[in-house]
Amino acid sequence: MLKIGNVKLKNRLVLAPMAGVTNLAFRIVARWYGAGLAFSEMVDADGMFYDIQRRKKEFATNAEDAPIACQLFGARADTLAEAAKRVVDMGADIVDMNMGCPSFKLSRKNAGAKLLSQPELVGVLVRSVVSAVDVPVTVKIRSGWDSVNAVEIARVVEAAGASAITVHARTAKMMYGGAADWEVIKRVKEEVGIPVIGNGDVASPLRAREMLDETGCDFVMIGRAALGNLFIFRDCVEFFEKGTVMVEHTKEERQRALLELWEVCKSVGDARLSDLRMHACWFSKGLTGGRRFREEVGTKKTVAELEELVVENFC
C-alpha cells in the first residue's frame, strides 16, 4: 500500500505546488484525471497572522480535495509551527515545507531554496513543525542552492522527523533552465529511508516511468507539464497499468477538460476572468489556429464573452 506517513495514496502521481495555479478547482479536476496527491499553492506562514482571509483563499479545501498537502514557506520556527497547526485545522492531511522555491521574493526572506545553504536551520524548522502537528510533514527541496547538497539536506530532514521528501533535481541557481539531474534523486533515495518524491522534467507517461525506474523514487511529481494538459495524469495511469499511451488529445477533449475546470472554478466561488484566460491559453497550445485564438482571448472583457470564444474555437 502506498503511504506517506499514515496517509494512503491511490497511486504514485503527485500534482506539484504551483503559485497562481494549484487552487482548489485545479486540484479537484487533476484528481478526476488521476492525480493521487495534490499540493496547494505555497502559503506564507507569516501571513497566517496578519492576512488570514488571503491565506484562507490560498488554502481553500473541501471533501473532494483529499488527500491534500498544504505547502508553507517561512524561516521562523515559531511561526511555521503555529501556521502548520492552523492549516491542519483548516483540513490539511499533510503539511509540506517549501525549501525549493528559487524566487527572490522568498530568498530575500531567507526562505524557500535559500534554506538549503543552512542545514542546521533546516533541521530546526522541520523539528518545530513535526512537533506541532499530528499529520505527516514533508519537505520539498532542490538539488541545492548554488551547488548540490541534496543528500546532506535529506539526511537532516529525515532525522528531524519528516515523513517524506520531494527533490526537484535542479539547483536554485538553475531556476527552471537546463536539464534536471535525476542522479541527485537517485542518491537521495539511496541514503534515506523515508519516501522520496521525484520532480523535474517529467512531461510524459514515458518520462514518469523512466524516473521511477532510473531513480528508485517512490512517487513522481508533475508540475508545468500539467498546464493545459491535465490528461497527463490519466495517461500516466494507463501507461503504468496497460503500457498504452495517448498520442494526441482532440480539440473536443481539451474543450471538455477546460470547461470542466471552469465549472468547478465557478462552483467553489473562484471564477476569475484572468484564470479562464490563463487556462484557455494553455489548453490551446499545439492546436491549429491556437495562436490566433490566444490573441483573441486577450480582447475579451467578460467571462461570458470568453466562454463563447472557447466553445466556438474548441468544437
| 178-188 pLDDT tens trace | 999 999 999 99
Q: Among the listed ranges 5-14, 25-34, 249-258, which one has the minimum average pLDDT value?
A: 249-258
* pLDDT on residue 203: 96
pLDDT at 76 over 90: yes
Helix (H) or strand (E) holding 291: helix 290-297
Mean pLDDT of the 146-173 span: 98
Q: Is the dihedral of CA 271, 277, 281, 284 positive or negative?
A: positive
d(CA 187, CA 156) in angstroms, rounded, equals 15
How many angstroms separate the Cα of 29 from the Cα of each of 90, 195, 218, 256, 265? 21, 25, 23, 11, 10
Q: Could you tell me the residue ranges of all domains in the chain?
A: 3-242, 251-314
Which of 85, 77, 3, 92 minimizes the C-alpha distance to 40? Answer: 92
Active-site residue 101, yes or no? yes
Cell of 205: 507517461
User: Between residues 129 and 315, which one has the greater pLDDT?
Assistant: 129
Residue listed under C-alpha cell 498504452: 244
d(CA 59, CA 41) in angstroms, rounded, equals 7
As a whole number, the mean pLDDT across the chain is: 95
Contact 127, 121 (CB under 8 A): no
Judge if pTM exceeds 0.85. Answer: yes
| 242-276 pLDDT tens trace | 998 777 888 889 989 999 999 999 999 888 889 98
d(CA 161, CA 150) in angstroms, rounded, equals 17
* pLDDT on residue 56: 78
pLDDT at 315 over 60: no
Domain 3-242 superfamily per CATH? Aldolase class I (3.20.20.70)
* pLDDT on residue 52: 74
| 97-156 pLDDT tens trace | 999 999 999 999 999 999 999 999 999 999 999 999 999 999 999 999 999 999 999 999
**Other C-beta atoms lying within 10 Å of the C-beta of residue 278:** 16
Burial 8-32 (b: 16+ CB within 10 A, else e): ebebbbbbbbbeebbbbbbbbbbbe
Mean pLDDT of the 191-203 span: 98
d(CA 113, CA 103) in angstroms, rounded, equals 8
Of the residues 70, 101, 236, 265, only one is catalytic, namely 101
